[in-house]
Amino acid sequence: MVPVLEVDDLHMHFFTRDGVVKAVDGVSFTLEARKTLGVVGESGSGKSVTALSVMRLIPEPPGKVVSGDIRFKGESILAMNERDQRKLRGNRIAMIFQDPMTSLNPVYRIGKQIAEPLRLHKGLSKKEAWVAAAELLDRVGIPEAEKRAKDYPHEFSGGMRQRAMIAMALACGPDVLIADEPTTALDVTIQAQILELMQEIQARTESAIIMITHDLGVVADMADHVLVMYAGKAVEFGTADEVFYNPLHPYTWGLLESLPRHDVDEKGQLCPISGQPPSLINLPEGCAFQPRCQYAREACQRRLPGLVEIERGHLSACLFSGDKQFLAESPRCAYGRAQE
Partner 1 sequence: MANETPSQDTAKMPIDTGGVAPELPIEEAAGKGRTLWADAWRRLRRNKLALVAMGWIIFVALIAITADLWAPKLLGDPTFIDTTTVAQRSLKPPSTAHVFGTDKLGRDILCRIIYGARISLLVAVLAVAMMVILGLLIGAVAGYYGGWWDAVLMRLADIFYAFPYVLFAIVLLALMGPGVLNVCITIGILGWPSIARVFRASVLSVKENEYVDAARALGASTWRVMFRHVGPNAIAPMIVYATMGVGAAILTEAALSFLGMGVPLGQPSWGGMLNEVRSYMVVAPWMMAFPGLAILTTVLAFVLLGDGLRDAFDVRLKE
Partner 2 sequence: MLMYILRRILQMIPVFIGVTIIMFLVRSPAVVPGDPVRMLTGERDVSPAIREAVTKKFGLDQPIYTQYGKYMARLVQGDLGDSYQQRRPVTTILFEKFPNTFKLAGTALLLEAIFGIAAGILSAVKRYSFWDVLVTLSTSVLVSLPVFWLGMILQYVFGIQFKRWGLPYLPATGIGSPQILYLILPAITLASVSTAYSARIARSQLLEVMGQDYMRTAAAKGLSGGQVIWRHGLKNAMIPVVTFLGLDLGAMVAGTILTETVFNWPGVGYTIYRAITLRDWPVVTGGVIVIVILVMVINLAVDISYAFLDPRIRYRKHAS
Q: Which residues of this protein are in contact with partner 2, per CB under 8 A?
A: 55, 57, 82, 86-91, 94-95, 97, 99, 102-108, 116-117, 120-121, 151-152, 154-157, 160, 165, 168
> Is residue 97 involved in binding partner 1 (CB under 8 A)?
yes
- Choosing from 6, 25, 181, 236, the residue that interacts with partner 1 (CB under 8 A) is 181
Q: What angle do CA 236, 240, 242 make, to 5 degrees?
A: 65
For the CB of residue 280, give the shortest distance to partner 1 in the complex, in Å: 8
Count CB neighbours of 215 within 10 A.
Answer: 15
| Rama region for 253: left / alpha / beta (φ>0; ψ in -120 to 50; rest) | alpha
Window contacting partner 1 (CB under 8 A); options: 93-101, 135-143, 151-159, 286-294: 93-101
d(CA 267, CA 247): 25
Alpha-helix residue ranges (DSSP H) falling in the chain:
47-55, 82-88, 100-103, 110-121, 126-139, 145-148, 158-170, 188-204, 216-222, 240-245, 250-257, 298-302, 324-329, 334-339
Lay out the site mask for partner 1 across 183-222 (x = CB under 8 A, - = otherwise). -xx-------------------------------------
Residue type, 116: E
> Is residue 275 involved in binding partner 1 (CB under 8 A)?
no
> Is residue 47 involved in binding partner 1 (CB under 8 A)?
yes
- CB closer to partner 2, 7 vs 168: 168
- CB closer to partner 2, 99 vs 224: 99
Window contacting partner 1 (CB under 8 A); options: 104-112, 122-130, 137-145, 181-189: 181-189
Contact 43, 6 (CB under 8 A): no
d(CA 154, CA 57): 26
d(CA 103, CA 318): 38
Residues that bind partner 1 (CB under 8 A): 14, 16, 18, 21, 23, 43-45, 47-49, 51-52, 62, 97-99, 102, 180-181, 184-185
